[in-house]
Amino acid sequence: MERVILHSDANCFYASVEMLHRPEYRTKPMAVGGDPGARHGIVLTANYIAKRAGVKTGQALWEAKQACPDIIFVPPRMDLYLRFTQMMREMYQEYTDRIEPFGCDESWLDVTESCSLKGDGIKIANELNRRVREELGITVSVGVSFNKIFAKLGSDYKKPDAVTTMLRDEYRKKIWPLPATDLLYVGRRTGKKLLKLGITTIGGLAQTDERILEQHFGKIGLVLWTFANGLDTTPVRREDAHAVIKSIGNSLTTPRDLLNDEDVKMVLYLLSESVASRLRKHGFRARTVEVSVRDNGLFSFTRQHKISFSTCSASEIAEEAFRIFRANYTWQQPIRSIGVRGCDLVTEQYMEQLTLFTDAERREKEERAERAVDDLRRRFGYYSVQRGLMLKDGALSHVNAEEDHTVHPVGYLYDL
């Protein structure tokens, strides 16, 4: 049976979510990214009005401003975007359990086994396209093909809000005339090397002797030739319990220099509470804890350690972070900045084997207590509940780390 692979790509994802929540931006050039007040950062995504004016993803904010003087910059809200990612993922799960994320806004779906119940790939793609638009208020472009590479080319072929097929009897007509740089994993440097060989299109790449490509690019040359000829057989990975983002973390330049272990412990608990709260909010657990430290002599280091059991407990994260800190810092200088991150994330459905010495009941009670604190802080404010440890220093404890968080999305592959 011929495989049926879809690639769903949310159009201008971050900007679309922002325009959904701020309708006044729908008719104006707008971009998400950076810190316009501090005049630094880059464009993460822009709406189509800004794109037509010449704004591009990855541009510095000042470059985007030159291209489009009327552009409005909006700071990113990763928590909000991840909620939409999860909602799209839940929708995809109604059609298949073979869902492979490619960042926050893109996913491959293998619907081969679903066609007998849901209809052919084109029908499923059109249904997903319609449902995302009507149920979530944003749009996706969906490619339909017999492999992952061509399905992604299909989702890129026509935007926004479109369904494009790249089937076996039509890919030469549609795909081969496209620039070689449109092929997945052909970055700018690889594109320049291909250009030196006189290869400007995907069809030209497909028709080049693979031995020449191997000579100039090594094994990756053979991979690109395989992709261009529609011979990719890479499976869509079955959805598992791994999270769609890599880590959730906070770092803080402290109100005063930290002078001893007690100061550090207080700040680590502040940061860990923020990290743990966000993990619980999005249904994640961390399997690795990372600590970063910078002293006032500008010496810095980052260390991490894999913990025995996945956790979303502030106490467990803070205790592990403090252990990592004490094992790696000898107080040559006071500390100016410190950070905590939960890494190697899994979802709440992740299964793991406990040991005979694990007090599972105690861990569950602690988690319920921390969720109750989350609820109280949502209702009455962050400072309505604080640990007794925070009473030791008002300057250090009067920081709401959760308002200045960092969420690290899945990274894309870079130029080959």
CA neighbor of 314 nearest in space, from 254, 398, 386, 242: 386
In the chain the first and final C-alpha atoms are separated, in Å, by 33
Active site residue: 100, 106, 320, 367, which one? Answer: 106
How many whole angstroms separate alpha carbon 329 and alpha carbon 341?
18
At 253, the amino acid letter reads: T
Joined tokens for residue 168:
């076996």
CA neighbor of 241 nearest in space, from 375, 101, 119: 101
Q: Which residue has the tokens 């810095």?
A: 300
Question: Is 316 among the residues known to form the active site?
Answer: no
Joined tokens for residue 41:
């950062």
Alpha carbon 164 to its chain centroid, in Å, reads 25
How many whole angstroms separate alpha carbon 181 and alpha carbon 202?
8
How many whole angstroms separate alpha carbon 66 and alpha carbon 73?
13
CA neighbor of 1 nearest in space, from 88, 89, 113, 152: 113
How many whole angstroms separate alpha carbon 257 and alpha carbon 239?
45
> Which residues are marked as active site?
106
